[in-house]
Chain A
Amino acid sequence: MKLSLHTQPDVPLEADVIFPDLLLEKTVSEAAALEIFHGNEKTTLGDFFTITDENNDGTVEVEGDLSKVKLLGSGMSFGRLKIIGNVGAHLGAGMSGGEIIVEGDAGDWVGREISGGRIIIKGDAGHMVGSVVRGSSIGIQGGEIIISGSVKNELGNGMRRGLIAVGGDSGDFTGVNMKAGTIVVLGQLGQRPGAGMVRGTIISTHNAELLPTFTYDTTYRPTVLKSIFIYLRKLGFSLDDEYINGNYQRWSGDSIELNKGEIFLYAE
Chain B
Amino acid sequence: MVIQSTEIIDTFAEAFGMWAARVIITGETPKWAMAAARAMTGFATSVIGCRCEAGIEREIPSDETPDGRPGVSVLLFAGSAKGVGNRLVERIGQCVMTCPTTACYNGLEVEEKVIVGGKLRYFGDGYQASKLLGGQRLWRIPVMEGEFLIDESFGVQPAVGGGNFLVLGENLTVTLEAVEAAVDAMRIPGVILPFPDGVVRSGSKPGSKYKELPASTNDAYCPSLRGSAPKTDLPEEVTCVLEIVIDGLDEKAVGESMRLGIQAAVREGIVQITAGNYGGNLGQFHLHLHELMQG
> Are chains A and B native binding partners rather than an unrelated pairing?
yes
A residues lining the B interface (CB < 8 Å) = 142, 161-163, 182, 199, 201, 220-224, 226-231, 244-245, 260, 262
Interface check B18, CB cutoff 8 A? no
Contact B146 A221 (CB under 8 A): yes
Contact B133 A163 (CB under 8 A): yes
* CB 8 Å contact bits of B4-35 with A (1 = contact, 0 = none): 00000000000000000000001000000000
Give the chain B neighbours of A163 by CB distance below 8 A. Answer: 132-133
Q: A230-B68, A244-B68 are in contact. Are A224 and B138 (CB under 8 A)?
A: yes
Which 3 pairs show the lowest CB-CB distances between chains A and B? A226-B67, A223-B149, A227-B67
Give the chain A neighbours of B132 by CB distance below 8 A. Answer: 142, 161-163
Give the chain B neighbours of A245 by CB distance below 8 A. Answer: 68
Q: List 17 A-B contacts (CB under 8 A).
A: A162-B132, A163-B132, A201-B131, A220-B146, A223-B67, A226-B68, A226-B69, A227-B66, A227-B67, A227-B131, A227-B149, A228-B131, A230-B66, A231-B66, A244-B68, A245-B68, A262-B129
Interface SS of B by simple majority? strand
Q: Which B-chain residue is minimally distant from A200 (CB atoms)?
A: B129
Contact A227 B146 (CB under 8 A): no
Contact B133 A228 (CB under 8 A): yes
A226 to B26, CA, bound (A): 12
Contact B133 A223 (CB under 8 A): no
A161 to B69, CA, bound (A): 26
Task: Give the interface size class of chain B.
Answer: 10 to 19
Interface SS of A by simple majority? mixed
* Best-surrounded residue of B67, B134, B146, B147 (most CB of chain A within 10 A): B67
A161 to B135, CA, bound (A): 11
A229 to B149, CA, bound (A): 15
Contact A224 B140 (CB under 8 A): yes
* CB 8 Å contact bits of B124-146 with A (1 = contact, 0 = none): 00000101111000101000001
Within the complex, the shortest CB–CB distance from A182 to chain B, in Å, comes to 6
Q: Which A-chain residue is minimally distant from B139 (CB atoms)?
A: A224
Give the chain A neighbours of B147 by CB distance below 8 A. Answer: 222-224
Of A161, A222, A230, which one neighbours B146 at CB under 8 angstroms? A222
* CB 8 Å contact bits of B44-77 with A (1 = contact, 0 = none): 0000000000000000000000111100000000
Q: A220-B146, A223-B147, A227-B66 are in contact. Are A199 and B129 (CB under 8 A)?
A: yes
A244 to B66, CA, bound (A): 12
A147 to B134, CA, bound (A): 17
Interface check B114, CB cutoff 8 A? no
Give the chain A neighbours of B69 by CB distance below 8 A. Answer: 223, 226
* CB 8 Å contact bits of B88-104 with A (1 = contact, 0 = none): 00000000000001010
Within the complex, the shortest CB–CB distance from B206 to chain A, in Å, comes to 45
Contact A231 B134 (CB under 8 A): yes
A220 to B101, CA, bound (A): 11
A220 to B69, CA, bound (A): 15
A134 to B147, CA, bound (A): 36
Contact A224 B131 (CB under 8 A): yes
Give the chain B neighbours of A162 by CB distance below 8 A. Answer: 132
Contact B133 A231 (CB under 8 A): yes
Contact A223 B134 (CB under 8 A): no
Within the complex, the shortest CB–CB distance from A238 to chain B, in Å, comes to 15
Within the complex, the shortest CB–CB distance from B78 to chain A, in Å, comes to 28
Of B67, B138, B140, which one neighbours A230 at CB under 8 angstroms? B67
Give the chain B neighbours of A222 by CB distance below 8 A. Answer: 140, 146-147
A163 to B146, CA, bound (A): 23
With A161-B132, A227-B131, A229-B68 already in contact, 14 other A-B pairs whose C-beta atoms are closer than 8 Å: A199-B129, A221-B146, A222-B147, A223-B67, A223-B147, A223-B149, A224-B140, A224-B147, A226-B67, A228-B131, A231-B66, A231-B133, A245-B68, A260-B129
Q: Which A-chain residue is minimally distant from B101 (CB atoms)?
A: A223
